[in-house]
Structure 1
Amino acid sequence: MAIDLRDPDESYVSFWRERHMCTLTTIRPDGTPHVVAVGVTFDPEGGPKGIARVITNKHSRKVANVLAAGPEGARVAVCQVDAGRWATLEGRAVIRTEPEAVADAVARYADRYGRTPTPNPDRVVIEITLTRAMGRA
């Protein structure tokens, strides 16, 4: 079921505020999918269609996959499921390393997941400019 990212209904936005583990799918340089469990935050107000963020270690496979896509960024998807409810966000991901971007993403993660991650000097943000949303919330 398609969701209008310019005007997502409140139940969809609310579902992305609940505490759920998610998956991030990136594409390896050989074209195969890499799917990993992550925490995701969704900012429907960020940019023209919203922003999703994943905090992670700069040495992770998911970061390498995004960087391998080049400066335009990588096509990715994040998804969460809870019984019959599900939501997927798709978009183009880039890696953000600026301290203020990392701090903002950590604060958003802490708000959604109810805990502040331990400090990590190698932490970066996978920032996804959204292009499509689907789901049933």
Structure 2
Amino acid sequence: MAIDVRDPSPEYLAFWREYHLCTLTTQRPDGSPHVVPVGVTYDPEAGLARVITNKSSTKVANILAAQRQGGARVAVCQVHRGRWATLEGRATVRTEREAVEDAVRRYAERYERMPAPNPDRVLIEIALDRALGRG
């Protein structure tokens, strides 16, 4: 079922605020999918999803390679029993300290723990254009 990215139902938004690990799917340079577990925060007001990660990760390399070729289309998904939710959009890698710190704060709020300091941490920011799910 299609959902308005910027105006999700209260149930959909509540699901994205619960503690659930997610997956991030990026595309490798050969076109095959690369799927990894991640923590995701969803900000419908800004139309963004955020993932914090290490700058040397394969997901970051995949996004940077795709950006040079017109854009990195990605999806994040979470599942719990019969409920599922997917957010899709274009990803960029951000390194600005303020943006990364904001993403870390949002992560700590959702996942109820502050991640360990990491000087190589970056932010994958996803400009959302599609949301799907069933609750």
TM superposition score category, shorter chain reference: over 0.9
From 78, 83, 97, the equivalent of 1:80 is: 78
The alignment's TM-score, normalised by the length of structure 1, stands at: 0.96
Match of 2:15 in 1: 15
Match of 2:120 in 1: 122
Match of 2:2 in 1: 2
Say how many residue pairs are matched: 134
Identity of aligned residues (%): 73
Deviations 1:50-91 (A, max 9, x none): 100000000000000000012553000000000000000000
**Residue 5 of structure 1: CA displacement?**
1.6
**Residue 4 of structure 1: CA displacement?**
1.3
The alignment's TM-score, normalised by the length of structure 2, stands at: 0.97
Match of 2:61 in 1: 64
CA distance in 1, matches of 2:91, 2:19: 22
Deviations 1:19-67 (A, max 9, x none): 0000000000000000000000000011xxx100000000000000000
Which amino acid in the other structure matches residue 129 of structure 1? A
Matched, 1:92 2:101: no
Which amino acid in the other structure matches residue 122 of structure 1? D
